[in-house]
Amino acid sequence: MREQVEPYLNVVRLARKPGREEFWKVAKITAAGMLIIGGMGFLVYLLMDVFPRYMVG
């Protein structure tokens, strides 16, 4: 069992707490990605739900 857990323990040993600058950079990139994906979802919603109403009548 020790052999199966060893790679995970190595990752935990190498992990460290990010600095303030690194944290903000990751947070900004994550927020931008969420906004982009959310915007794409909203556009799909508009294309599938709202725009067909104007096409029909």
Q: Is residue 13 part of a domain?
A: no
Amino acid at 25: K
2-29: b (≥16 Cβ within 10 Å) or e: eeeeeeeeeeeeeeeeeeeeeeeeeeee
Assigned domain for 12 exists: no
Which pLDDT does position 50 carry in this prediction?
A: 83
- Supply the range of the domain harboring residue 42: 18-57
So what's the pLDDT on residue 42? Answer: 96
Q: What is the pLDDT of residue 54?
A: 75
From first to last of its 57 residues, the chain has per-residue pLDDT tens of: 888 899 899 998 998 999 999 999 999 999 999 999 999 999 999 999 988 887 775
DSSP assigned state of 19: P
Please report whether residue 5 resides in a domain.
no
CA 9 to chain centre: 26
- Classify residue 56: in a domain, yes or no: yes
**pTM to 2 decimals?**
0.65
Domain count, the chain: 1
Q: Positive or negative CA dihedral for 49, 55, 56, 57? A: positive
